[in-house]
Amino acid sequence: MEALILEEAHKLTLGDISLDEPLGPRDVRIAIHTVGICGSDVHYFTHGRIGPFIVKEPMVLGHEASGTVVEVGRDVTHLKEGDRVCMEPGIPDPTSRASRLGMYNLDPAVRFWATPPVHGVLRPTVVHPADFTFRLPDNVSFAEGAMVEPLAVGMHAAIKARIKPGDLAVVMGAGPIGMVTALAALAGGCSQVLLTDTQQPKLDLGATLGPIRPVNVAREDVAQVAREITDGWGADIVFECSGNERALAGLFEPLCPGGCAVLVGMPLQPIPYDVVAAQIKEARVEHVFRYAHVYPRALALMGSGRINVKPLITDKFAFADSVRAFDFAVQMPPTSVKAQIELP
């Protein structure tokens, strides 16, 4: 089949690849409709690796996807041909200790699309376990369905934060993950979100999504803004979604005593960690790696209208233009948040 293949760093081709994917009894075959371009896809394209995951042989990219079921395994009862679906891209070992403890995202044996050596889904069809395939609500489009994967990261972060109704949150970074984390924080009960970045167009977009106060950290101090809003107390939660070293250095400054900091963004290299700044506030610190058990919640919130991801989908490309789409994603302008590729 034709697919977008990463041959090595900086070398993408749209060409044929042979993939043997028999349909198991608990599997479905899905015709791919929309695939979002994730930062990890771009990083594999530009660097050929992320941490210990190294592209050693040609790999199909893409893991944020939606499509239509075209074939079902004999034991699948909750899905049928023609269902519009999105897919959770990580497949754990159901017998692993992490899976049995409910933390299947931490299973060392998880097979995750477009993570070497596992092929992704920028191709016409894919076979996937039915248990990790979810029907889209009728009012949720394919484009929105492909946003469930990044939204799941924000949902997982909001759950880890243990939001209380009325909390004030800071979200550092107005990229796709920062935006969906802000939406998840509001849906989880936060009264307001302070969204930080240096790119004003992204902040302007964020301000249209709900009670979100944009803070351009090139001109304003987010810690001061948080204190002004809370009579000097500080924000209840800080979500760090940028992975930026400077942002991480000030992680605890906007946080109130006893507050929670959630590390979502992934720095490209080890960074200093101010233990004393966390200690003097007795900060609770949580870490996020992908997500677990949140796709149904994310779809329920999208279907009810509580979360609207449509404004975040800023750029679309045809499958035939996939290489150009990745060149665009490498140098994405400040007015863009999420680029997607649509298959015929």
Q: Are residues 47 and 87 in the same domain?
A: yes
Tell me whether residue 296 is in a domain. Answer: no
pTM over 0.85: yes
The residues near 49 (Cβ < 8 Å, ≥ 6 apart) are 9, 55, 116
Q: Are residues 60 and 157 in the same domain?
A: no
Q: Are residues 281 and 158 in the same domain?
A: yes
Tell me whether residue 295 is in a domain. Answer: no
Determine the pLDDT at residue 319: 98
Q: What is the CATH number of the domain that holds 328?
A: 3.90.180.10
Q: How confident is the model at residue 310 (pLDDT cuts 50, 70, 90)?
A: very high
Determine the pLDDT at residue 267: 87
Determine the pLDDT at residue 205: 98
Residue 50 has pLDDT above 90, yes or no: no
Q: Which of 184, 171, 249, 174 is nearest to 204 (CA)?
A: 174
Tell me whether residue 130 is in a domain. Answer: yes
Tell me whether residue 128 is in a domain. Answer: yes
Q: What angle do CA 17, 19, 20 make, to 5 degrees?
A: 155
pLDDT digits (tens, 9 = 90+) for 125-155: 999 999 999 999 999 999 999 999 999 999 9
Rounded distance between C-alpha atoms, residue 248 and residue 147, angstroms: 26
Residue 291, class by beta-carbon neighbours within 10 Å (0-12 exposed, 13-18 middle, 19+ buried)?
A: buried
Q: How confident is the model at residue 273 (pLDDT cuts 50, 70, 90)?
A: confident
Q: Are residues 6 and 140 in the same domain?
A: yes
Determine the pLDDT at residue 261: 98
DSSP string, 223-267: HHHHHHHTTT--EEEEEE-S--HHHHHTTTSSEEEEEEEEE-S--
**Domains of the chain: total:** 2
Residue 235 has pLDDT above 90, yes or no: yes
Q: Are residues 217 and 128 in the same domain?
A: no
Q: What is the CATH number of the domain that holds 209?
A: 3.40.50.720
Q: Are residues 333 and 271 in the same domain?
A: no
| Mean of pLDDT values over 93-122 | 96
Q: What angle do CA 291, 296, 298 make, to 5 degrees?
A: 70
Q: Are residues 263 and 331 in the same domain?
A: no
Determine the pLDDT at residue 228: 98
Contact 37, 4 (CB under 8 A): no
Tell me whether residue 34 is in a domain. Answer: yes
Domain of 183, in residue numbers = 151-287
Tell me whether residue 80 is in a domain. Answer: yes
The owner of tokens 């079902």 is 72
Q: How confident is the model at residue 52 (pLDDT cuts 50, 70, 90)?
A: confident
Last residue of a domain, one of 287, 317, 333: 287
Percent of the chain with pLDDT strictly greater than 90: 96
Q: Are residues 88 and 187 in the same domain?
A: no
Q: Are residues 179 and 257 in the same domain?
A: yes
| Mean of pLDDT values over 41-56 | 93
Tell me whether residue 190 is in a domain. Answer: yes
Average pLDDT, the chain: 97
Tell me whether residue 294 is in a domain. Answer: no
Residue 271 has pLDDT above 90, yes or no: no
Q: How confident is the model at residue 270 (pLDDT cuts 50, 70, 90)?
A: confident
Determine the pLDDT at residue 330: 96
Q: Are residues 178 and 138 in the same domain?
A: no
Rounded distance between C-alpha atoms, residue 153 and residue 291, angstroms: 6
Q: Are residues 156 and 277 in the same domain?
A: yes
Q: Are residues 8 and 143 in the same domain?
A: yes
Q: Which of 46, 263, 323, 295 is nearest to 150 (CA)?
A: 295
